[in-house]
Amino acid sequence: MKTASPSALVPERDSAGHSAWLTISLCFIVAVLEGIDFQAPGIAAPGMAQAFAMDKLQMGWVLSAGILGLLPGALCGGWLADRIGRKWVLIGSVALFGIFSIATAHAWDLPSLLGARLLTGAGLGAALPNLIALCSEAAGERLRGIAVSMMYCGVPLGAAMAALVSIAGVSADWTLVYYVGGLLPLLVLPLLAIWLPESAVFLARRRERRSPAQQAPAVAVTQGLFKDGNAAPTLLLWLAYFFTLMVVYMLISWLPSLLVGQGFSHTQTGWVMFALQIGALVGTLMLGVLMNRLRPLAISALIYLGLLCALAGLGLAEAFASMLLAGFAAGLFATGGQGVLYALAPLFYRTEVRATGVGSAVAVGRLGAMSGPLVAGKMLALGTGAAGVMLASAPGLVAAGLAVYWLFHRRHQV
């Protein structure tokens, strides 16, 4: 039976404290900036389409380019972080999405706009697995889930701030949101370089690998995702990420259009989207606390039955007040449930493959993010209406709920 070396255990136990809170706070700031950038295309889309004389198909390509960039960004960001460290890969990622957010505002034609959005997405995608790895390793085993949830609630908070910009009508100049989304990350870079500590767990592992007594034959990091009993958790994480993010991005992409089609005004639509992001903020914190306190069946049922009920409400609600409530519930269970998945994934991987494992799950989730708007568009083309769009997501959510139940059940047995 193998025993862990002391240097592998001490950093996670001793990392709670000032250094841990500093890491979580700085990662939270980056998550807020990610939330602003995630919401920016929805705010800028009308003005951008007019400025470049784009039809709906071309606008769809522009919106999809940012999502497409998230996939290779997440894979490469996680892979690099397990080799050279989390801190500097995160700093490079923030610089990347900051620079190319500003470049989006300076695009001169459709190809340059697509390129800027693709590279912005790559930076956003590379940042997320590093944020998760840094927070989970700083907090240690006992507080890992709560720490990741606290960090990730910055994403819906940033998106809610962007939604308020839309409600206030400040988005007349579509480039403004991209200047804000680009300059703020660049201003944060010096703070990260000076104050953000590298993961103590990662540094300890790197020292071990350099020690002659600990040297072993090199093994591909990606093999660690499927060896030593990791194959089933990896595949189930991928399944849960895929279908949960499919619903999250289906809501972000199509809900405003569905609401307008149901007779709600643009201002009312903005408030529903704001309610969705506030629900996401509350859900990320609430479910992050409950994930370690409820039984596996209870937490998985709460998330996915709650999400199914919220989607039914969005498809059937007619009054504005009930739509606000349904939007809040959808954000609470969809984005809040995704926050639980972000906190769950690091628990199944060793330090040397943790960022790669999280990055692979995030990348597969982005495939779901890309398919969600397509599924919704197909259902609308078939004339199913809002209720049909919501119903189409039900089988995937049931599969995701079963996967999450199995993952939590396995963690409780360890």
Alpha-carbon distance of 280 to 284, in angstroms, equals 6
One domain, residues 252 and 282: yes
One domain, residues 264 and 297: yes
Give which of 393, 408, 283, 273 is closest to 344, Cα–Cα. Answer: 408
One domain, residues 300 and 344: yes
Domain end point (choices 167, 186, 216) = 216
- pLDDT tens string, the chain, 414 residues long: the values are 444 443 333 344 444 467 888 999 999 999 999 998 887 887 777 778 888 888 767 777 787 788 889 889 988 988 888 888 889 999 999 999 999 999 999 999 989 999 999 999 999 999 988 998 899 888 876 777 788 888 988 998 888 887 777 666 555 678 888 898 899 999 999 999 999 988 888 888 777 766 554 444 444 455 567 776 778 889 999 999 999 988 887 777 667 767 877 788 877 877 888 888 899 889 988 888 888 788 888 989 999 999 999 888 887 888 899 999 999 999 999 888 888 888 888 888 887 788 888 888 888 888 888 787 777 777 777 777 767 777 778 888 899 999 999 988 887 665
CB-based burial, 113-148: b 16+ in 10 Å, e otherwise: bbbbbbbbbbbbbbbbbbbbbbbbbbbbeebbbbbb
Containing structural domain, residue 241? 221-414
Q: What is the pLDDT of residue 355?
A: 80
One domain, residues 203 and 232: no
Alpha-carbon distance of 106 to 91, in angstroms, equals 23
Query: What CATH code is carried by the domain that includes residue 253?
Result: 1.20.1250.20
pTM for this one? Answer: 0.78
Q: Copy the structure tokens of residue 22.
A: 């500093």
Q: What is the pLDDT of residue 213?
A: 46
One domain, residues 182 and 236: no
Cβ–Cβ < 8 Å for 124, 37 = yes
One domain, residues 162 and 178: yes
One domain, residues 6 and 149: yes
Cβ–Cβ < 8 Å for 35, 155 = yes
Query: Alpha carbon of 44 to those of 99, 133, 270, 283: distances in Å?
Result: 17, 32, 14, 27
One domain, residues 238 and 332: yes
One domain, residues 75 and 126: yes
One domain, residues 372 and 353: yes
Domain end point (choices 171, 200, 216) = 216
Domain end point (choices 188, 216, 244) = 216
Query: Alpha carbon of 83 to those of 39, 79, 209: distances in Å?
Result: 31, 7, 11
Structural domain total, the chain = 2
3-state secondary structure of 17: coil
Q: What is the pLDDT of residue 222?
A: 53
One domain, residues 110 and 226: no
Q: What is the pLDDT of residue 168?
A: 67
Alpha-carbon distance of 44 to 275, in angstroms, equals 20
Alpha-carbon distance of 69 to 110, in angstroms, equals 16
Q: Which residues contact 346 (CB under 8 A, 6 or more apart)?
A: 132, 133, 136, 137, 144, 148, 354, 357, 358
Query: Alpha carbon of 323 to those of 253, 255, 312, 332, 337: distances in Å?
Result: 17, 11, 11, 14, 20
User: Within a 13 Å sphere around the CA of 218, how many CA atoms are in the beta-carbon half?
Assistant: 3
Alpha-carbon distance of 162 to 37, in angstroms, equals 9
One domain, residues 277 and 384: yes
